[in-house]
Amino acid sequence: MRAHVVENGVVVNTLLVGSLEDLPNLVEATEGGIGWTYDGSTFANPNQSSDSDIDTPAAEDTRYTRNLLLAESDWTQANDSPLSDADKETWATYRTSLRNLTNHDNWPHLRADDWPTKPS
């Protein structure tokens, strides 16, 4: 059977053994390898990206796109905008939807249809 030698909660070697009693500090190697941590019941890869590691760059990219769309529509809210009051309100609603994207269930991994529709 495959087994890990665990010292101070870290896998330091992996061996093929006949029994876990062959050597001290052996744990059946259900997964993992050298450098993985072991808490007494679960192996964990210390180099595996966490959800926050993955989400942070995605959130930055999505915020950048959202902020660009907001900046491109700033003119719609200016006092001297050529839009009617009704059209200004439509754009204001769109801009509010852009600002609220961080509350979306799919944030920050938005699909195309998760974005609000830009008024024409």
pLDDT tens digits for range 5-54: 999 999 999 888 888 887 888 999 888 888 989 999 888 888 776 666 56
Q: Of 5-9, 13-17, 90-94, 103-107, where does the model show the most confidence?
A: 90-94
Which sign, positive or negative, has the C-alpha torsion 74, 79, 81, 87? positive
Widest Cα–Cα separation across the chain: 83
* Chain-centre distance for alpha carbon 90: 32
| Residue-by-residue DSSP string for 6-32 | EETTEEEEEEE-S-TTSSTTEEE-SS-
Domain ranges of the chain: 2-44, 51-114
